[in-house]
């Protein structure tokens, strides 16, 4: 009996050893070439191209399947390089009623255009010409310089709506610098921009995830924890790029004081307001939460206070989406509340989260038209 058990264990361990050897030698290559390559045309981040004025933009006239984490979705741009519906491309359009600008949340990372909040709004306001100017890792320094370049190139807008992200203060502090109000350059702290300083590095885990692709997939399938102890979810909740609204840490901002950090982004937005005013373009501002905001902060948080104050005598409308998201949270079951609103293991809104933004935006926008 013991000999039989020993033989079974021996076969098992030899099989595991051979599987691991296969995985580390050819698994990584096979995963990239045979699996990931067939699922997507490109990773969404690879569509970004450098721009001499506003740092980066997206490829023009792109039509393909892109990947973001485990998500696969259609991504299309027009000849302006603006994200559009893959079914409704209009060429040579330069006159718009509304231009939405923001970062990856506004771009609609992780969902199809039709399920992004800009796409849903466009579908509802079918009589309006709408441009999605948003792109991953944009911030007020880029909002200013990109819109300035577009206006100089003959683009026209009746209104610009800026979806200010919680991470924008980090990006303006660590990533970008505006030179003579005309162009953005990357700071020498740029490599630190997108780090989550709250994550403790685990060299073994990183090595395992990067080199044993199939083993990692199998491990996650068997042992994945569908709760807040899930590593990816935990990392997104305590993200250093969003926690400044309730726990400001100078170390995450290159040791700048909070007033210095906030005044930098506010200054860029002041200049954007002046630019738009000179061109008779209305400005509106919108704010929304990250997962950590909903878990650790309050509804009337610092992000709301900063941009609500900024909007006094400047904005046509201040869109505050914090109440709608906080109303979705059940603190006794935060994991399911998080899953309902966000792409699992990520900070970006899922289809339902995007729908909350769109539906409440349309209500407020129509109210404004009636007044």
In this structure, the answer to whether residues 364 and 249 fall within a common structural domain is: yes
In this structure, the answer to whether residues 244 and 213 fall within a common structural domain is: no
Domains contained in the chain, number = 2
Strands 95-101 and 130-132: parallel
304, part of any domain: yes
The pLDDT value given to residue 332: 81
In this structure, the answer to whether residues 248 and 325 fall within a common structural domain is: yes
Whole-angstrom distance, CA of residue 56 vs CA of residue 53 = 8
Per-residue tens of pLDDT for the chain, all 371 residues: 666 666 676 666 666 566 656 656 655 555 555 444 445 455 666 778 889 999 999 989 999 988 887 788 999 999 999 999 998 777 778 999 999 999 999 999 999 999 999 999 999 999 999 999 999 999 999 999 999 999 999 999 999 999 999 999 999 998 998 998 789 999 887 777 777 655 555 555 556 566 656 566 566 655 555 554 566 677 778 788 899 999 888 777 878 898 989 999 999 999 999 999 999 999 999 999 999 999 999 999 999 999 999 999 999 999 999 999 999 998 788 888 999 999 988 999 999 999 999 999 999 998 877 76
β-pair partners for 183? 179
Whole-angstrom distance, CA of residue 219 vs CA of residue 231 = 13
296 three-class SS: helix
231, part of any domain: no
Whole-angstrom distance, CA of residue 168 vs CA of residue 182 = 19
The pLDDT value given to residue 40: 47
The pLDDT value given to residue 329: 92
The pLDDT value given to residue 351: 97
The pLDDT value given to residue 94: 94
Looking at residue 200, the DSSP 8-state letter turns out to be P
In angstroms, what CA-CA distances link 254 with 149, 197, 241, 327? 30, 12, 13, 35
90, part of any domain: yes
In this structure, the answer to whether residues 10 and 140 fall within a common structural domain is: no
In this structure, the answer to whether residues 32 and 141 fall within a common structural domain is: no
Which CATH number characterizes residue 301's domain?
A: 3.40.50.1110
Closest Cα partner for 193 from 249, 254, 247, 243? 254
Closest Cα partner for 83 from 133, 138, 123? 133
Looking at residue 316, the DSSP 8-state letter turns out to be S
229, part of any domain: no
Buried b (16+ CB within 10 A) or exposed e, 315-324: bebbbbbbeb
233, part of any domain: no
In this structure, the answer to whether residues 101 and 248 fall within a common structural domain is: yes
167, part of any domain: yes
In this structure, the answer to whether residues 216 and 361 fall within a common structural domain is: no
270, part of any domain: yes
Whole-angstrom distance, CA of residue 344 vs CA of residue 4 = 44
In this structure, the answer to whether residues 59 and 100 fall within a common structural domain is: yes
In this structure, the answer to whether residues 12 and 54 fall within a common structural domain is: no
230, part of any domain: no
Helices (H), the chain: 2-22, 28-30, 37-39, 104-107, 117-124, 140-152, 168-170, 203-211, 213-223, 231-237, 258-278, 291-296, 302-311, 322-326, 334-341, 351-370
331 three-class SS: helix
In angstroms, what CA-CA distances link 44 with 41, 49, 76, 88, 155? 9, 11, 11, 20, 26
In this structure, the answer to whether residues 31 and 65 fall within a common structural domain is: no
In this structure, the answer to whether residues 164 and 255 fall within a common structural domain is: yes
User: Who contacts 213 (Cβ-Cβ below 8 Å, separation ≥6)?
Assistant: 23, 27, 28, 30, 31
| Domain boundaries, position 269 | 43-197+238-370
In this structure, the answer to whether residues 137 and 274 fall within a common structural domain is: yes
Whole-angstrom distance, CA of residue 127 vs CA of residue 297 = 38
Token representation of residue 246: 């309730």
Closest Cα partner for 127 from 96, 149, 105? 96
74 three-class SS: strand
């Amino acid at each position: 009996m013991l000999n039989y058990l020993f033989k079974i264990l021996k076969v098992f361990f030899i099989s595991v050893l051979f599987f691991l050897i296969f995985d580390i030698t050819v698994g990584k290559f096979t995963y990239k070439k045979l699996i990931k390559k067939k699922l997507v045309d490109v990773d969404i981040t690879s569509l970004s191209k450098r721009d001499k004025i506003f740092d980066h933009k997206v490829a023009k006239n792109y039509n393909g399947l892109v990947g973001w984490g485990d998500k696969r979705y259609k991504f299309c741009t027009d000849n302006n390089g603006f994200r559009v519906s893959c079914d409704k491309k209009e060429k040579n359009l330069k006159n718009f009623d509304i231009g939405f600008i923001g970062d990856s949340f506004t771009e609609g990372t992780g969902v199809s255009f039709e399920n992004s909040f800009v796409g849903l709004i466009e579908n509802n306001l079918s009589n309006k010409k709408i441009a999605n100017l948003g792109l991953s890792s944009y911030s007020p320094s880029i909002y200013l310089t990109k819109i300035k370049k577009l206006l100089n190139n003959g683009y026209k807008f009746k209104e610009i709506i800026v979806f200010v992200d919680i991470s924008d203060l980090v990006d303006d502090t660590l990533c970008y610098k505006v030179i003579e109000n005309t162009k953005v350059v990357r700071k020498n702290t740029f490599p630190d921009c997108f780090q989550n300083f709250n994550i403790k590095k685990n060299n073994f885990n990183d090595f395992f995830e990067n080199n044993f692709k199939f083993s990692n997939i199998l491990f996650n399938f068997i042992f994945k924890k569908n709760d807040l102890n899930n590593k990816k979810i935990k990392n997104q909740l305590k993200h250093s790029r969003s926690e400044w609204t309730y726990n400001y840490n100078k170390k995450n901002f290159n040791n700048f004081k909070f007033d210095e950090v906030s005044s930098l982004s506010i200054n860029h937005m002041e200049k954007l307001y002046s630019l738009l005013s000179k061109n008779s373009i209305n400005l509106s501002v919108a704010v929304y939460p990250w997962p950590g905001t909903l878990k650790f902060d309050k509804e009337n948080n610092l992000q709301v206070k900063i941009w609500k104050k900024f909007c006094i005598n400047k904005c046509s409308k201040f869109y505050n989406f914090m109440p709608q998201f906080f109303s979705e949270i059940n603190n006794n079951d935060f994991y399911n509340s998080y899953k309902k609103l966000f792409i699992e293991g990520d900070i970006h809104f899922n289809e339902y989260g995007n729908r909350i933004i769109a539906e409440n935006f349309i209500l407020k926008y129509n109210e404004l038209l009636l007044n």
